[in-house]
Amino acid sequence: MNKLSHFDKNGQATMVDVSDKPLTKRTAIATGRICVNQEIFNAIKNGTAKKGDVLGTARLAGIMAAKKTSDIIPLCHPIPISKIAIDFTLEADTLSVYAKAEAKTTGQTGIEMEVLHAVSVSLLTIYDMCKALDHGMTISDIHLTYKDGGKTGIYTTGEK
């Protein structure tokens, strides 16, 4: 049975002590998507949304979110982020925007939460900027697709 590391022997939530862990290079990638209607898809694609550059704003929001992850997730360590990149792919066949965040650090703990947070906030920002056109957008499939570094090594879903 796995022991959940964020609980002490009494079952109380606690921040994991990473002070004895070695510094290692760590990378993580997360993805997710937002499904929209044709009008929103066209506005994003053509840059005609009334609130401005949807994907540019969503990218900045995601970067900011990654940098503030430990302020939002209670037991998450603040870590130095050496890289955070967020890319979007417009998928006409599914009327969706696919988001991918990749981050790197050299530290004592992983950077998975930062990429998951970045994707989530990026997609929420797209929703916020487009909700005047339709409230029926659906955010889904937010998940970790790759991580490397630390004692557990590589995890991958095989997605690109």
Q: How would DSSP label each residue in 20-76?
A: TSPPEEEEEEEEEEEE--HHHHHHHHHT--TTS-HHHHHHHHHHHHHHTHHHHSTTP
Residue 120's nearest CA partner among 55, 57, 61 is 61
* Average pLDDT over all residues of the chain: 93
Q: How many residues does the chain have?
A: 160
Query: Is residue 160 situated within a structural domain?
Result: no
pTM above 0.75, yes or no: yes
76 belongs to an annotated ligand binding site: yes
Residues forming the active site: 128
Query: Is residue 12 situated within a structural domain?
Result: no
The domain that holds 112 is classified in CATH as 3.30.70.640
135 belongs to an annotated ligand binding site: no
Query: Is residue 52 situated within a structural domain?
Result: yes
Query: Is residue 110 situated within a structural domain?
Result: yes
- What pLDDT digit, counting tens, does each position of 26-82 carry? 999 999 999 999 999 999 999 999 999 999 999 999 999 999 999 999 999 999 999
Q: How many domains does the chain have?
A: 1
Name the band, by pLDDT with cuts 50, 70 and 90, for residue 1.
Answer: very low
Domain containing 101: what range? 24-148
Query: Is residue 81 situated within a structural domain?
Result: yes
75 belongs to an annotated ligand binding site: yes
